[in-house]
Amino acid sequence: MRVPSLAVSVHDRYTPEVRDRILGKLDTSIKEMATYRLLTPTHLRTLVEIEARDAPVLSLYLQLSPDRRATGAWRTVFSSLSAAALRPIAERHKRQAVTDELDRIGQALEAELPVFGRGVAFFTCRKLGLWRQIAISVPLPDGAYVSSSPYLRPLARTRDEHDRFVLALLSRERSRFFVSQIGEVDEVISGQRPTAAQDTDRPRAA
């Protein structure tokens, strides 16, 4: 696996432009490496804005515990979710559209499960050109929902509880560490490597 990298010299300050370059590099690399996307605020905002007036949008959440992965038990759960999603749909065209979306999801799961995470979420609507495969870092309740827009309440709760990360900017001269939690960024550690002159000026034990 190729690790994304971005060259930043000791003379570069951590400005909004540098931040955007880092985020852009990571986003591009993730898209190149993975079929399943990790949830980002951009994904969530995009999904919130989707609404279909004359086509069903299917939202499916599936837990992928180590046991389900190892034994293939996720297939049984997926089958049950599919049946539950189709059961209340009486209109023939809508039922066929949801069946087609479930078939697409089933084929995607058979082709590849996400390498990391404890679950997956799909949001699909062929008429809108909507297809999102998102790897979930925490287990969310299994469920399949048919509506005019994506069902996002579980994802929104995940962002609220787990939107925390550390950004480390490292160099030989200076290292800085930032913690982000729910959109707020704080610098928690800032250290500078002593120079040779500074070492000479230190008091020495007699």
Query: Residue 85 pLDDT more than 80?
Result: yes
Which residue segment(s) compose the domain that 182 sits in? 163-199
Q: 48 or 167: which carries more pLDDT confidence?
A: 48
Looking up tokens 């951009």 gives 42
Considering only CA atoms, which of 42, 46, 10, 24 is closest in space to residue 129?
A: 46
- What is the structure's pLDDT at 154? 85
Q: What are phi and psi of 180, to 5 degrees?
A: -110, 130
Global pTM value: 0.63
Q: What is the mean pLDDT of residues 7-23?
A: 66
Based on the fold, state whether residues 173 and 93 are members of the same structural domain. Answer: no
Question: Looking at the structure, do residues 41 and 81 belong to the same domain, yes or no?
Answer: yes
CATH number for the domain harbouring residue 126: 3.30.960
Q: What is the mean pLDDT of residues 34-55?
A: 80
Per the structure, the count of domains in the chain is: 2
Is position 141 within any domain? yes
Q: Is the pLDDT of residue 25 over 80?
A: no
171 band by pLDDT with thresholds 50, 70 and 90: low
- Residue 42, pLDDT above cutoff 60: yes
Is the distance from CB of 151 to CB of 145 less than 8 angstroms?
yes
- Nearest-angstrom CA–CA distance, 21 and 16: 9
Buried b (16+ CB within 10 A) or exposed e, 44-72: beebeebeeeeebbbbbbbbbeeebeeee
Residues paired with residue 164 on neighbouring β-strands, in sequence order: 181
The letter for the amino acid at 115 is V
125 and 171 co-located in one domain: no
